[in-house]
Structure 1
Amino acid sequence: MIDNLDYPVQLIQPDGARVCRPEYDRLIANLDRDDYLSLYRDLVISRRIDTTAVTLQRQGEIGLWAPLLGQEAAQVGSARALEPDDFAFTSYREHAVAYCRGVPPHALTVLWRGCAHSAWDPEEFNVTNPAIVVGSQGLHATGYALGAHLDGAEIATIAYFGDGATSQGDIAEALGFAASFRAGVVFFCQNNQWAISEPVSLQSRTPISHRADGYGIPSYRVDGNDVLAVLAVTRKALAHAREGSGPTFIEAITCRMGPHTTSDDPSRYRSDTDMAQWRARDPIERMRLFLTSRGLLDDKVATEIDSAADEVASVLRRNTIGFPDPPPSALFDHVYTGPHPLIDHERAQHQEYLASFDNQEVVS
């Protein structure tokens, strides 16, 4: 079952005009003015969190950051489709997903400042901490979904990854397991056009969603810069998972407008011309045009949302800079769920090593 494989699902055009797609319109028919404005607010605040974090990295306040610029609609639309009991398994770029799941903005930077091994309790927000091992989250999401099914829980999981991760064995294995055991997992690929410095055309000669067909998994291609289309398609896929019908693969066509991480220089492998067409498809401007044309967003509300984003950015910056440095012994915390003799021995050795410096004479 392949749905509209070669032409992405789209509900809002880049100029803000609404596209009539009855099979998807019904999936978002319950949205009212407050819902539309809430989606727009999440888009604006997510971008502000991201640009603030990039600035903090450039100023030496955090060590690294993976910008999401341009991918806000793919993340907000999919995250807002989740139910509270669903579980999201992310890579290292899904800052908007974490924000939409309720993670405090300032918690998003603590890991990247080097002040903690993990930033939040995944069970509190039903979203994982950033996964640095590319593609591993696909297996984690599949395993969690299988376990939930065995426990009789009617929940879904969603695994976020980029187009580059589809070249990893972990994603292939996850697709195989999910298909064979009908796991209630949604594989959400953000095709942002670049796997670090290599274009998607080099990674796959056909649309990435074609790969799901080989596993017998239904797939969708959606305009990843259209928050309404992403919301509708993800709602459909999650419902499919919750009812016990198995996995779904979503390819959200979007673009990473910034660097892969703040250590990357995208000008070395792509031109400004390459980005021009994507700037015209900006997900936030598209939603703004849509809302304005329908009389749902005026200058007063837009200013209020911008002010809210300013406040989030201010708190994020203040709290990030104020994170206390952890003690060296924190290195051994939370390695296991309980005490472990090996960790206790290593902790004692490390403390003895640190103490040895206290007894050294200062040589001038």
Structure 2
Amino acid sequence: MATGGNDAESVTCAVCLEIYRDPKFLPCHHTFCAQCITDVANRHTGGTFPCPSCRESTSLPKGGVAALQANFYLKKQSENSKEMCKIHTQRELEFYCVRCQEAICINCKMTKHEQHQTEDLHTAIQQKHKELLTDKSRLQKAVSDIITRVETTRAEQQAVLVKKTAVEKNIRDRHAVMVAAADKFRDEALDSLQSVSTHIDSDIGWKLKLQECDLEELLDIQRQVERACTSGKARDVISVVQEMRTGRGSEQAVKKLTSQKLRTICRPVLRFKVTSDVILQKARGFMGTVTKMEMEVEASEVRMLKRFPCGQESDIEVFCLGHVDSDPPGVRVSYERRQLKTSQFFWYLPHCLSLV
């Protein structure tokens, strides 16, 4: 094995991935544990085997693996890299206690772990290494699944924000429509009020003018009577008496002025077809109600539904997904959708309603 990298890598066999045990050179100058070379050679026939690193064909000498040149440098490095017992600091860790699940030395095996089942540490670590590789693969798959879920959830979050913006715009547009309609109705009502008031005022003015003329005539006659009574002159008295008997002051003429019936006076009033509560209810219905709907959907068929009161099939905008069995009654038009695997939030908002 070519050495390099950190110290742990430089004293690690490429076959067993453990610290070298009796490291031997192959003719290609790669180094492996003597036992690892033996295991590789035993898996091949014909006296040759490929180098585990460079795949160069290699033949063992007559003395077998034991006759291969030892790598004394790596042997020394391996000895320096051996893990020592924390209790018996001069003893190398050689065994694995199955019961206590820890690496121990020969002294630990003969004392504290005497009655415990033990295994060769090298063999146990190889098995643990295989288990770790399996766990690593499992964790990698779990991490990949979680990353996918995180990305999906983020996409859902963005979709909710986009939908919120769209619904908010729809609400504001509806409010603007209602305000514009209310302003229009207000202006029309005020114009109508002005027209009716002008007509009534003109009629009342004409009546008032006639009444004021009648009043002025009676006051004039009254003044003539008072002057005649005050002066006492024969000419004035006779003239006024004559006026009071046959002229403007006669009983018949005065009765005619005072007996005229008062005509009905019109006043402007505001009439309603519906009460304010009904109008507010219609306005609320037009604005729509924002609700949240959470769905947990696996890889099965669901249906996207239009929901709206009966008779208003053409006046609704779809903002939601729903289930046929759980949704409240009303006219529904379903659209098939498949493979929805997550929860979503939706808003119900009517497309348009009329104010009566």
Please report the TM-score for the alignment, with normalisation by the length of structure 2: 0.20
Larger Rg computed on CA atoms = 2
Q: Higher relative contact order at CA 8 Å, sep ≥6: structure 1 or structure 2?
A: 1
